[in-house]
């Protein structure tokens, strides 16, 4: 459960929720924030959720995502949102290489900052 309490994860989910809510209320942010900020936080959020499920299933808080797992998340997100969705929903999605770069930068951020072991807290005798 500690994985879901990661402050970066909570911050990124909050950013997503704010932008989503504002968009639904027809309040639009500058295009840079509206479109690329969400892509930048997508991979860290997805990777952190993947790490949570991995730790939950294996019952081991010291597990970390391996580089191939993170690359799978980046590549599959890029293919889904930048290749498949523009084909099937061109009115909603467009292919953009800058989105793929945001997914990569988000993946690097997750790898360097968020992909950490949870240290057990120790009780000291009184």
What 3-state class would DSSP assign to 108? helix
Query: 0.85 exceeded by the pTM?
Result: yes
Inform me whether the pLDDT recorded for 110 exceeds 50: yes
Report pLDDT digits (tens) over 39-56.
Answer: 999 999 999 999 999 999
pLDDT at 34: 83
Q: Where are the domains of the chain?
A: 2-114
What 3-state class would DSSP assign to 38? helix
pLDDT at 122: 42
Q: pLDDT band for position 119 (50/70/90)?
A: low
Q: Which residue has the tokens 């309040």?
A: 27
């Amino acid at each position: 459960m500690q994985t879901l309490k990661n402050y970066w994860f909570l911050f990124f989910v909050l950013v997503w929720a704010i932008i989503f809510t504002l968009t639904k209320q027809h309040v639009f942010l500058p295009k840079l924030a509206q479109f690329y900020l969400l892509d930048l936080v997508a991979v860290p959020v997805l990777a952190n959720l993947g790490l949570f499920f991995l730790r939950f299933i294996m019952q081991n808080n010291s597990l970390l995502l391996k580089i191939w797992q993170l690359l799978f998340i980046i590549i599959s997100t890029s293919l889904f949102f930048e290749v498949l969705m523009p084909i099937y929903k061109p009115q909603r999605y467009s292919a953009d290489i800058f989105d793929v770069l945001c997914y990569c930068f988000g993946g690097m951020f997750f790898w360097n900052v968020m992909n950490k072991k949870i240290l057990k807290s120790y009780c000291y005798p009184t």
